[in-house]
Structure 1
Amino acid sequence: MSSASETVGRAWGHARVSTTDQDALLQFAALRSAGVEEVRIITDHCSGASAERPGLTGLLEQLQPGDVLTVWKLDRLGRSVSHLVSLVDDLGRRGVEFRSLTEALDTTTPGGRLLFHVVAAVAQFERELIVERTRAALAAARAQNRQLGRPSRVNEHQFRLIHQMAEVGTTHAVIAASTGLSKAVVGRVLRGEIASLAHFSRDTDGALPLYEEPSL
């Protein structure tokens, strides 16, 4: 692997392998056949979902207008469709072209640019569908008085004790130690930021022990 030196109007390649057991020989061969010199192929060793790709990060920073970035397959570059669209769109604004050999996507050609716009439109449509479905599910849950959000580890006893101790001026650190929760969780409970606890009552009754402020 070599570092990306500043070169205008040259072909660059990026390869990614998921584990140390894999190698990039197949990707290298395809990139070289496409006209990318081996010294200009930058490789990352990471999973597809990883956001840490130092090779790609350094390469993207040094690409200049007129350069062409080539990958073997689309999944070698983007973590998701939306991430891929964002990357290629940013390259286009900078005057950098993009090619994916397996999918025959090439923004240097009119057909390739059209295909990319179709992919971008599908990604946007998918995002809007997810937002719409999420809003509909939340509205239905509220209408049926169902619990929203993931279940909290905080039980009703802890919930009441947190509020009781806070009312007498007990610090978050002491409340956390007394309830076995973190100070961050205690703060979220007191601010009402945990939706799944909304059905709990702050009122204490005989079934729950009351907290008494220690006398000095």
Structure 2
Amino acid sequence: MSNPTLTTATHTWSAILFDLDGTITDSAPSITAALAKTFEALGLPVPSQAELVSYVGPPLLEAFKVHAGMNDEQAWKALTVYREHYDNGALDTAVYPGVAGLLERIHDAGIPLALATSKPESMALRILEHFALTPLFDVICGATEDETRSAKSDIVAEALRRLQALGVDTSQSVMVGDRGYDALGAAANGVPTILVEWGYGSPAEAAEAIATVYSSDQLAKKLLG
């Protein structure tokens, strides 16, 4: 992905929101492995690895409908099976190089930090705790277990609401993600997005972002100057 806009830090951000999968953690291996087992358990052909990666990011309930052509009942069954498999391998992931250090720098700079992920909130919390990142975040917001809050726009809205409840000024917030889905969800709340190239997005998904970055150092310049 490439976007020349915002080549230097031009804002003083009042709050920063981060996506999780593909932005903080390289979680595709654990997600796609669980998806493959899900299709096998359901007696369905297992999609190619490239097709499985396309499931990473958006809400899985919706992804099963869009990519696998499932109806509501089938998608819920697939999601239930997936969660059973994923729970066993959720921590088989890694934090991208330099990202933990950047989160520490943001925290030390006193800029309020929120997680806004489509992953179930309980699982997101488990992963952050595993990597000792939980204390760096003022707010940790994810999807609800029943998927009533799963759209990125709703998750960003809830993260902003929780920040505001803490007295945080969210008028100059920015979202950091890896998919166009992140950018569209943030834009629905009036929040611009910086996309990271190390995630699972494609160049076409950068169209909605104010910038793209290829390293944690470059991202640090956009966020901290």
Which bracket does the TM-score occupy, shorter chain normalised?
A: under 0.3
Which structure's CA Rg is the greater one? 1
Q: With structure 2 as the length reference, what TM-score do the two structures score?
A: 0.27
Asked which structure has the greater RCO (Cα within 8 Å, sep 6+), the reply is 2
